[in-house]
Amino acid sequence: MLNGDSYGSAFYELCLGTPSMTAILIGGSPGTGKSEVAEVLGIRLKAEVISMSDLARRNGCISARDDARDTDIIDEDCLVGAIMDEVETKRHRIIVEGHYIDLVPYSSMEHAFILRTHPDTLRERLLARGYSKEKILENVEAEVIGVCQMDAIEAFGEDKVFEIDTTDLNPLQVADVIVEFLKSPAHSPRYDWMELLENEGRLDEFLS
């Protein structure tokens, strides 16, 4: 996984110069509300929203399709290049949302907001989206383990990663939390669904 100190971002900075503007990143498991929250936040902050999956598609960074998992395989080098090209051309703060936010070079981001959702609620949302049983299990399991926030912390460090529990908030309220945080940054809460479910004796229900 690339991170702020990685060869990848250092290489691009050497070639292109350190970008002057930064991006607000919104990450999280599928169904946690990234796209909806980013749209609301974009309106609130008058900032352009970039979807990482659209960016990957537009720049030919989808290298293959994993039919068994019903998901695209991303060419990470290609996507890092596309992000840097995008960031280079912007003169204003942008919002970047999607699954691969940890690929954004450290020097181009200001904060990463990871949307978290209780596994029961996430499962309902993914069911409503018509996802297959396997895909729901895989995505909910990733949320239980906390894959997205672990990847973000690994890439950007604890201080740059703020988690928001969206379980009982609508996207407008989640955007409010982000706006408040940007006004006065605070220490992030950390959510551990694994511990919660283990204490309830339900962890096996969620792990394959």
Ligand X SMILES: Nc1ncnc2c1ncn2[C@@H]1O[C@H](COP(=O)(O)OP(=O)(O)OP(=O)(O)O)[C@@H](O)[C@H]1O
Nearest-approach distance from CB 18 to Mg ion, in angstroms: 29
Residue 121 engages Mg ion in binding (rule: CB under 5 A): no
Q: Which residue has the tokens 């607000």?
A: 24
Q: Which is nearer to ligand X, 84 or 136 (CB)?
A: 136
Q: Does the protein bind ligand X through residue 123 (CB under 6 A)?
A: no
Q: Which is nearer to ligand X, 30 or 42 (CB)?
A: 30
Q: Which does 123 bind (CB under 5 to 8 A by kind): Mg ion, ligand X, none?
A: none
Q: How far is Cα 56 from Cα 96, in angstroms, rounded to an integer?
A: 12
Find out whether 185 and 138 touch, Cβ atoms under 8 Å: no
E strand map for the chain: 23-28, 48-51, 62-66, 71-74, 94-97, 109-116, 161-165
Q: Which of 169, 187, 20 is nearest to 94 (CA)?
A: 20
Name the residue with tokens 């992000």.
83
Residue type, 181: F
Among 166, 178, 188, 191, indicate the residue that binds ligand X (CB under 6 A). 166
Smallest distance from ligand X to CB 99, Å: 6
Site for Mg ion in 137-156 (CB under 5 A): none
Single residue of 10, 47, 169, 196 touching ligand X by CB under 6 A: 169
Residue among 8, 19, 30, 119 that touches ligand X (CB under 6 A): 30
Tell me which of 3, 6, 22, 35 binds Mg ion, using CB under 5 A. Answer: 35
User: 12: which residues sit within 8 A by CB, 6+ positions away?
Assistant: 80, 81, 84, 105
Of 2, 8, 19, 28, which one interacts with ligand X (CB under 6 A)? 28
Minimum distance from CB of 169 to ligand X (Å)? Answer: 5
Choosing from 170, 180, 202, 205, the residue that interacts with ligand X (CB under 6 A) is 170
Signed CA dihedral, 117, 205, 123, 208: sign only: positive
- Cβ–Cβ < 8 Å for 51, 98: yes
146 binds ligand X (CB under 6 A): no
State yes or no: residue 71 binds Mg ion (CB under 5 A).
no
Residues of this chain that interact with Mg ion (CB under 5 A) are 34-35
